[in-house]
């Protein structure tokens, strides 16, 4: 492709349009405040749609970072049960779901890697959930996924309800170091107030595992003002700008100039493009990167893809 290298480091993939539409409809975006005119994608995130969306934006590569939450997967499963089912029948189905959650978790990751096996233009990060498997079994599962081509792991401490420094995650972090994998985590406030995924919550992990490759999503989200101090204290951590760039100018979000200056202060070489597709369009996110003030064209080109290729060690 002509032009600068483009890599989207933050994509969600779904097995069908109904599944993707369920996940999109249940995700409330509240932390940035009010803003008119946000550009949302109409896609549901199937593989075919994902490849097409990357093509529309002239992207060379994409990275799927699927998340797993036992609670949300249970709600999704419940939504598929027949509305006319008896109460006892629904209860039995949900009980069976609960006892098979660990198998469903591993099957979810295996589905992702099997789906991407013949799609070299898209890499996969598998979900890691400390509440579904023991630390030892999580490491064993991660080794299997790495053998199948996984390039990293995805965490969402808010919906998974754990602190990043949770001791159950320590063996996973060490395994990521040993296998050369990156940890990508959601960052931002929780609606209920717990600081699970606020950027300062990652400081103990960054301190205890200084060689761990960590990519923090959303530049801190609605708590973006807390990001710079952690970035300055830990110069090896990287960030993606997905979603927050689409909401720049909202009442709680940074303006485009504040966002650009935050990136400049962190170091543009440490920030990568992510779209959060299928919520937003990769092509539109790239346009917003190119329209940022303050940053040079070379810095914007690096954010579009060069940084991700280096940080995630992608062969593109």
* Residues in a beta bridge with 271: 239
Number of Cβ within 10 Å of residue 213's Cβ equals 19
Backbone angles phi, psi at 185, to 5 degrees: -130, 145
CB 217 within 8 A of CB 9: no
Cβ 24 vs Cβ 279: under 8 Å: yes
Query: Domain map of the chain by residue range?
Result: 7-25+37-311
pLDDT in tens, the chain (316 residues): 478 999 999 999 999 999 999 999 999 999 999 999 999 999 999 999 999 999 999 999 999 999 999 999 999 999 999 888 888 999 999 999 999 999 999 999 999 999 999 999 999 999 999 999 999 999 999 999 999 999 999 999 999 999 999 999 999 999 999 999 999 999 999 999 999 999 999 999 999 999 999 999 999 999 999 999 999 999 999 999 999 999 999 999 999 999 999 999 999 999 999 999 999 999 999 999 999 999 999 999 999 999 999 999 998 8
Architecture of domain 7-25+37-311: Alpha-Beta Barrel (3.20)
In order, the DSSP letters of 178-229 are HHTPEEEE--S--TT---TTSGGGGHHHHHH-TT-EEEEGGGGGGGGGGHHH
């Amino acid at each position: 492709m002509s032009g600068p290298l483009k890599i989207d480091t933050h994509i969600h993939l779904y097995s069908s349009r109904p599944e993707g539409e369920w996940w999109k409809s249940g995700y409330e975006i509240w932390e940035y405040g009010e803003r008119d005119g946000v550009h949302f994608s109409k896609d549901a995130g199937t593989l075919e749609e994902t490849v097409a969306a990357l093509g529309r934006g002239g992207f060379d590569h994409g990275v799927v970072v699927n998340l797993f939450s036992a609670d949300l997967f249970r709600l999704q499963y419940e939504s598929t049960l027949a509305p006319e089912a008896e109460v006892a029948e629904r209860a039995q189905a949900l009980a069976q779901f609960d006892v098979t959650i660990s198998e469903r978790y591993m099957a979810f990751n295996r589905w992702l890697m099997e789906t991407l096996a013949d799609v070299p233009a898209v890499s996969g990060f598998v979900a890691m959930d400390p509440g579904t498997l023991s630390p030892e079994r999580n490491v064993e599962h991660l080794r299997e996924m790495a053998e199948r081509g996984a390039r990293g792991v995805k965490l969402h401490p808010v919906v998974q309800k754990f602190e990043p420094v949770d001791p159950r995650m320590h063996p996973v972090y060490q395994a990521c170091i040993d296998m050369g994998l990156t940890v990508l985590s959601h960052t931002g406030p929780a609606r209920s107030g717990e600081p699970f995924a606020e950027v300062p919550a990652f400081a103990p992990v960054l301190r205890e595992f200084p060689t761990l490759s960590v990519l923090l999503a959303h530049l801190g989200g609605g708590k973006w003002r807390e990001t710079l101090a952690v970035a300055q204290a830990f110069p090896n951590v990287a960030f993606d700008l997905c979603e927050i760039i689409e909401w720049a100018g909202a009442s709680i979000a940074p303006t485009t100039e504040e966002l650009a200056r935050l990136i400049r202060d962190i170091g543009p070489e440490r920030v990568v493009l992510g779209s959060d597709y299928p919520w937003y369009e990769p092509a539109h996110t790239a346009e917003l990167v190119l329209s940022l003030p303050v940053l040079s064209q070379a810095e914007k080109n690096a954010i579009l893809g060069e940084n991700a290729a280096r940080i995630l060690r992608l062969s593109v």
